[in-house]
Amino acid sequence: MKSGKGAAIAAAVIALLGVNHVAAADLLLPGLYRLVEGAYREAEPLPPVQGESHQDRFEHAVPDAARVRYALVARDDAAGLNTLVFLSDAAGAYGDTPGRRTCQAYAFPDWNDYTTARPFCRIAIGADDARVASTDDGFTISYENVKRHVGATRVPAVRAPTAEEAGICAIADVCAREAYGSTINQYEVTHYHDRFVLLAPHAYRDLLFVPRPVPMLASARSVTAIAEIDAGSFVAVIDRDGEGYAIERIAADGTRAGGWLDRDVLEPLQWIEQSVTLPGMRFRVGVLPGEDEEGAVLPIALEVLDATTGARRQVLRDLDADATRASPDLLQVVDANFDGAPDLQLPGLSGGAGPNATSNIILFDRAQQRFVLDPELSALPQLEIDPASRSILSFQRGGCCAHSVETYRYIDGHLVLAEQTTTSLSADGRHEETSTGRLINGKMVYRTRRARAR
């Protein structure tokens, strides 16, 4: 929790950056942070339990060999996620040591999805994971204490035991220290702790890992390289679109330089020409190799080309999709919102064994004269478009004994649930329960029917 002063500072920065106040409440502010020298000694040792003595050692949570002075924090309000990277010119200093797993980059809260493309470590899940906590003006990083037995001291008895003490000691092995003496176990306890303070807030939306050397361009659609980003670097993302990333590169000494990364160079894809065309347009689907099946691909991007010149008119990226077979027929032309303009449909997520597969539905925006991914339609499983009734049907299975069908219609330009039927087996397996809902006067009204299972 932040104090009154800290909360006021945070609110001012949030207003300055124009970010969501509710989402920001539990997340660190984005920006450049500075290591507080000597703050590693601020760790508060716990008093030893009876029969122990402690010799406390204080160490940096961030490895000394990494030579870290600054850290970057980004915040994705939509995902409710912070990403954090320690600026270092000695990335090899990180790794696993007894009692702690040190990393250059972290994501939190509720992150446990480390990949080579997003190499962000989790926090506070395993005993050897880092702990990150917010403060009034920054954050701390720490680890559980490492306790090492270094010896023992015998304290002699100072008097003879009473008869009662002798009996208790013999029966329960609870022996009075004054009468029998005691052993004090000696431990070296190492405390790992560091504190960083916000040096300058910046509207960093994400931190991007750069797996290969890429040129940093002066601006979007520029061909002028102003620097090269080294492989294994992290950069701060200010904005992104289908073409690239507006970024800042921050050196280990905290100096900043802005530029642009071309996604075609950073994220090379295989482009598959599609059979479908539209007046003045042809299409290619950008794919990555699938991991499970030979010949399978992940269709994660769509390119719109000028049919005459072949010039790129638009590119959409970051589509959610599972592996499918490479084909010139991945893309279909539909009219998903019944406005007469051609829309596009691409395979999406498989939905597991349901089947509850989704599609990426990309609507044509007449005002912008561009295609736009529709997240609502793209989230509906087993989507079917019925032009005759101007309805969208969505089918879903919930295991062996439950399934549903939903009917959506566009009302005043908004997708609205109009009908819903859900059928499931009762817990005892003897009855089938069917719930039917219909939109009446702007509200869904439901009825449930129960019949003996066949």
Neighbours of 347 (CB within 10 A): 23
Residue 102's pLDDT is: 92
Extended strands (E) in 175-264 = 182-201, 206-210, 214-217, 225-229, 233-240, 244-250, 256-262
Same domain for 334 and 237?
no
Q: Where are the alpha helices (DSSP H) in 18-89?
A: 21-24
The span from the CA of 232 to the CA of 254, in Å, is 18
Residue 251's pLDDT is: 95
Residue partners of 312: CB distance under 8 A and separation at least 6 = 303, 304, 305, 306
The CATH number for 232's domain is 2.30.30
Per the structure, how many domains does the chain have?
4
Q: Which residues pair with 32 in a beta bridge?
A: 72, 200
387 is a domain residue? no
170 is a domain residue? no
The span from the CA of 333 to the CA of 331, in Å, is 7
Same domain for 285 and 262?
no
340 is a domain residue? yes
Q: CA 357 → CA 37, 74, 343, distances in Å?
A: 53, 33, 19
Domain that holds residue 369: 269-380
- SS3 letters for 244-270? EEEEEEECCCCCEEEEEEEHHHHCCCE
Same domain for 62 and 196?
yes
Residue 26's pLDDT is: 83
The span from the CA of 338 to the CA of 358, in Å, is 19
161 is a domain residue? no
Same domain for 239 and 281?
no
Residue 6's pLDDT is: 54
The CATH number for 376's domain is 2.40.128
159 is a domain residue? no
In order along its 454 residues, the chain shows pLDDT tens digits of: 455 555 555 555 555 555 554 445 589 999 999 999 999 999 999 899 989 999 999 999 999 999 999 999 999 999 999 999 999 877 677 888 877 899 999 999 999 999 999 999 999 999 999 999 999 999 999 999 999 999 999 999 999 999 999 999 999 999 999 999 999 999 999 999 999 999 999 999 999 999 999 999 999 888 899 999 999 999 999 999 999 999 999 999 999 999 999 999 999 999 999 999 999 999 999 999 877 667 789 999 999 999 999 999 999 999 999 999 999 999 999 999 999 999 999 999 987 656 789 999 999 999 999 999 999 999 999 999 999 999 999 998 876 778 899 999 999 999 999 999 988 887 777 878 889 999 999 999 999 888 887 7
91 is a domain residue? yes
Residue 100's pLDDT is: 87
Same domain for 327 and 301?
yes
Same domain for 256 and 278?
no
pTM, two decimal places: 0.79
142 is a domain residue? yes
Same domain for 427 and 309?
no
Residue partners of 88: CB distance under 8 A and separation at least 6 = 66, 67, 68, 104, 252
Among the three residues 201, 222, 246, which one is the final residue of a domain in this structure?
Answer: 201
386 is a domain residue? no
Same domain for 289 and 362?
yes
Among the three residues 346, 380, 414, which one is the final residue of a domain in this structure?
Answer: 380
Same domain for 261 and 276?
no
Torsion sign across C-alpha atoms 132, 133, 139, 143: negative
Residue 9's pLDDT is: 54
Same domain for 110 and 234?
no
Judge contact between 177 and 234, C-beta under 8 A.
no
Judge contact between 4 and 136, C-beta under 8 A.
no
Count helices and strands in the chain by DSSP H and E runs: 6, 32
Same domain for 237 and 342?
no
Same domain for 346 and 328?
yes
